[in-house]
């Protein structure tokens, strides 16, 4: 098998060089859905990072309380809360990064796609306001089903003429976090040193960990099957254990805060940041596909190929690309028809 190609995104020189004396990045991060199960702990972790100068917390309920509470933590950065549609523009204005965990979570027995009917319109509405208030921000989409909500966001931005594919990312960091955790456990490795790429999408079998590429690991065929399945269905494991009280919130808060920080680091010129994320991608026939990406001063600066796959992984990719195409099209059609 040929390794998939490296794909570079051209970055305009003029947009990279700011006028001297004018800081290009204000380090303003807005969380949309900040009062929710993910939103609250993720906002707390972001505040504690000390990397954000202005943390803007938006939700349709409860944000004044969440902002007042988090704002008392003695770490760097101002916290502001905004509540309701009338305050949304102010919350987004000047954002460098907008992280979006708004929408309903799963209950046992549901797929992520079962959330489409509710979350598609929530995400569409948020994208419409973002297109007006902060069209140049990086948009990090957590709301499920990610395989469709990211294409929805793209279509809305396109319709407003402000779509920049380098700045729209579906957050798949939790899949990578699970992969690292389960692999380290299985192999007796140091979890801080394990690297696992997870490609594809964020739903069931579209989540495809590349275990054949994990350095220092020695898996049996049975390990590969069991670990792959556990990583693909890690979300279901949490939904089942929470027994009707929602889906992953705390691990997602950690993964979301980590990824947002990496995006912010990239915007600030830190070099060599590579993370898996779900982006518009030429790697397969699916319009959006997660793979390792370099994060730079303009968002995603390079989409890396996924390298040499084992026959097991290649079969997964072949089986799941059509599903990704379908889920993407569902999002695109939703915007066209609404």
- Residues that constitute the known binding site for substrate: 106, 112, 144, 178
Binding flag, residue 37, ligand NAD (CB under 6 A): yes
For the CA atoms of 225, 228, 229, 232, what is the dihedral angle to 10 degrees?
A: -160
Tokens of 300: 């995603």
Shortest distance (Å) from residue 160 CB to ligand NAD: 18
Binding flag, residue 248, ligand LMR (CB under 6 A): yes
Quick one: 94 or 125, whose CB is closer to ligand NAD?
125
Active site residue 72: no
Binding flag, residue 142, ligand NAD (CB under 6 A): yes
Binding flag, residue 91, ligand NAD (CB under 6 A): no
Shortest distance (Å) from residue 304 CB to ligand NAD: 21
Q: Which residues in 236-265 contact ligand NAD (CB under 6 A)?
A: 246-249, 252
Alpha-carbon span 142 to 269, nearest angstrom: 24
Query: Residue 171 in contact with residue 146, Cβ under 8 Å?
Result: yes
Q: Which residue matches tokens 């099209």?
A: 329
Q: What is the 3-state secondary structure (H, E, C) of 85-101?
A: HHHHHHHHCCCCEEEEC
Query: Residue 267 in contact with residue 97, Cβ under 8 Å?
Result: yes
Give the residue, chosen from 31, 38, 55, 327, that forms a contact with ligand NAD under the rule CB under 6 A.
38
Quick one: 39 or 209, whose CB is closer to ligand NAD?
39
- Residues that constitute the known binding site: 33-39, 59, 106, 112, 119, 142-144, 178, 252
Q: Which residue of the set 72, 202, 254, 304 is catalytic?
A: 202
Bridge partners (DSSP) listed for residue 169: 140
Binding flag, residue 180, ligand LMR (CB under 6 A): no
Q: Which residues in 204-243 contact ligand LMR (CB under 6 A)?
A: 235, 238-239
Question: Out of ligand LMR, ligand NAD, none, which partner does residue 119 contact, by CB within 5 to 8 A per kind?
Answer: ligand NAD
Binding flag, residue 144, ligand LMR (CB under 6 A): yes
Binding piece for ligand NAD, criterion CB under 6 A, among 57-65, 209-217, 268-276, 280-288: 57-65
Sign for the CA dihedral angle at 136, 142, 144, 145 comes to positive
Tokens of 39: 């939103």
Tokens of 94: 């000047």
Return the axis-axis angle of helices 146-159 and 116-133, rounded to nearest 10°.
40
Show Cβ contacts of residue 161 under 8 Å, excluding neighbours closer than 6 positions: none
Q: Helices (DSSP H) in the chain: which residue ranges?
A: 13-16, 39-49, 63-71, 88-92, 116-133, 146-159, 173-187, 221-232, 234-242, 250-267, 311-337
Binding flag, residue 249, ligand LMR (CB under 6 A): no
Burial class (CB in 10 A: 0-12, 13-18, 19+), 93: middle
Give the residue, chosen from 28, 112, 124, 304, that forms a contact with ligand LMR under the rule CB under 6 A.
112
Rg of the chain, C-alpha, whole Å? 19
Give the residue, chosen from 7, 11, 25, 60, that forms a contact with ligand NAD under the rule CB under 6 A.
60
Binding site for ligand NAD (CB under 6 A): 32-33, 35-39, 58-61, 101-106, 115, 119, 122, 125-126, 142-144, 146, 171, 174, 202, 246-249, 252
* Catalytic machinery residues: 202
Q: Which residues bind ligand LMR (CB under 6 A)?
A: 105-106, 112, 144, 174, 235, 238-239, 247-248
């Amino acid at each position: 098998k040929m390794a998939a190609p490296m794909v570079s995104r051209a970055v305009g020189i003029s947009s990279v060089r700011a006028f001297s004396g004018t800081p290009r990045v204000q380090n303003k991060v807005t969380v949309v859905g900040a009062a929710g199960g993910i939103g609250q702990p993720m906002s707390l972790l972001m505040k504690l990072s000390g990397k954000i100068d202005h943390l803007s917390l938006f939700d349709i309920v409860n944000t004044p309380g969440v902002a007042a509470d988090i704002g008392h933590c003695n770490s760097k950065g101002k916290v502001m809360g905004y509540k309701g549609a009338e305050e949304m523009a102010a919350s987004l204005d000047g954002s460098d990064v907008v992280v979006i965990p708004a929408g309903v979570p799963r209950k046992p027995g549901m797929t992520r796609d079962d959330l489409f009917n509710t979350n598609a319109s929530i995400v569409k509405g948020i994208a419409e306001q973002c297109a007006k208030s902060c069209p140049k921000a990086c948009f990090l989409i957590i709301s499920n089903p990610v395989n469709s909500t990211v294409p929805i966001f793209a279509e809305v931005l396109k319709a407003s003429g402000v779509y920049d594919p380098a700045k729209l990312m579906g957050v798949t960091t939790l899949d990578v976090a699970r992969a690292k955790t389960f692999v380290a456990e299985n192999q007796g490795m140091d979890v801080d040193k394990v690297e696992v790429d997870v490609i594809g999408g964020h739903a069931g079998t579209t989540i495809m960990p590349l275990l054949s590429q994990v350095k220092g690991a020695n898996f049996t065929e049975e390990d590969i099957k069991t670990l792959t399945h556990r990583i693909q269905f890690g979300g279901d494991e949490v939904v089942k254990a929470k027994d009707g009280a929602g889906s992953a919130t705390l691990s997602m808060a950690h993964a979301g805060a980590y990824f947002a920080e990496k995006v912010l680091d990239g915007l600030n010129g830190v070099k060599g940041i590579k993370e898996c994320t779900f982006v518009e991608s030429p790697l397969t026939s699916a319009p959006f596909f997660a793979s390792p990406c370099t994060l730079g001063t303009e968002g995603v600066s390079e989409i890396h190929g996924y390298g040499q796959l084992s026959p097991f992984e290649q079969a997964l990719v072949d089986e799941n690309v059509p599903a990704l195409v379908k889920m993407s099209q569902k999002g695109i059609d939703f915007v066209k028809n609404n």
